[in-house]
Amino acid sequence: MKKKVTKIGVLTSGGDAPGMNACVRAVVRTGIYYGLEVYGIVRGYTGMVENDIYKMESGSVANIIQRGGTILKTSRCKEFFTPEGRKKAYDNLIKLGINGLVIIGGDGSFRGAQTFSNEYDIPCVGLPGTIDKDIAGTDFTIGFDTAVNTAVEAIDKIRDTADAHDRLFIIEVMGRDAGYIALHSGIATGAQNVLIPERKTDIEEVIKQLEEKERRHKLVNLIVVAEGDEFGGADEIAKIIKARLPIQDVRVCILGHIQRGGSPTCFDRLIASRMGYSAVECLMEGKFNVFVGMVNNRMHFTPLNEAVKKKQRISEEWIKIVKILAS
């Protein structure tokens, strides 16, 4: 697969993340700088299967760096995960002469890229576009900083009304399989508890802590819970607490998809731009079938077949920090 790449396709796949547009912009303009033709693939792998592909110019990505979402759209394509679907996708790329791909997405998107590159002679480079920050091999993912800052801003406002009414608020943030948004936003807003999928929730300990705070007349409490917590999210936690502590004035707030949208932060724009630039450099230099991340502020390259096997693990130190600072 050490062939010269002359035409590249770029796509965004899986859940959208703020900063994807900045990344697409970087891929397109870096590719054009090096004399490559760049094609936008619409709706992720669906666009590859359905031949929804168009040539992009420098002007195609003007005025998008500040926009959330993705101008290329995104979807989850079941057909691509069949041999017949991947064959259609390959034939469509070959018709256009596309001989390199940049995939911006999460681990599911990388699995698709790995399978596709194993079957056909199209080199792929993966970039971590996901608000969950759950991909091993990078300190940050595109969209995480924006999503967690959106959550922090919302929780700060909720704390104001919690304080005014002496209430317990249980706030649900995104994170079906990963608790990074809950963990970071919980620490940053002074939450009394952070409940995440990676760690078994001790509901008795939660109740015990709330009872202790009642005795100390600390009536303003925040619990941040990831949607993938084993108890089923904020609503289920609230039911248990209301049944066990009827004196508590409990409210639930589910932040939902506001965490996905919005203008990306400066940090997300910077890492997205840097990663997009590096992806094109990889294809130019023959670094094929890798995932491009950032570790200790340096670009870090992980083979795709390793990237799809590993999850970013939450350090026990973070859990300890939550416990100590909430006491």
* Ranges 102-111, 219-228, 253-262, 303-312: which has the least confidence: 303-312
- pTM, whole model, 2 decimals? 0.92
d(CA 35, CA 222): 53
Average pLDDT, the chain: 91
User: Which residues of the chain are in CATH 3.40.50.450 domains?
Assistant: 7-143+264-307
In the block, residue with structure tokens 């959550």: 151
Active site residue 16: no
| Tokens standing for residue 243 | 């049944």
Q: Which of 274-278, 290-294, 309-313 has the highest mean pLDDT?
A: 274-278
Nearest alpha-carbon partner for 188 in 314, 318, 19: 318
How wide is the angle at C-alpha 237 spanned by C-alphas 236 and 242, nearest 5°?
Answer: 100
**Active-site residue identified among 16, 107, 132, 229:** 132
pLDDT above 60 (res 313): yes
Q: What's 7-143+264-307's CATH class?
A: alpha beta
Q: Which CATH number, 3.40.50.1000, 3.60.20.30, 3.40.50.460, 3.90.870.10, labels domain 146-260? A: 3.40.50.460
- Mean pLDDT over 182-211 rounds to 89
pLDDT above 50 (res 1): no
Contact yes or no for 174/181 (Cβ under 8 A): yes
User: Which residues of the chain are in CATH 3.40.50.460 domains?
Assistant: 146-260
CA distance readout (Å), 134 to 75, 78, 106, 138, 177: 19, 22, 8, 9, 8
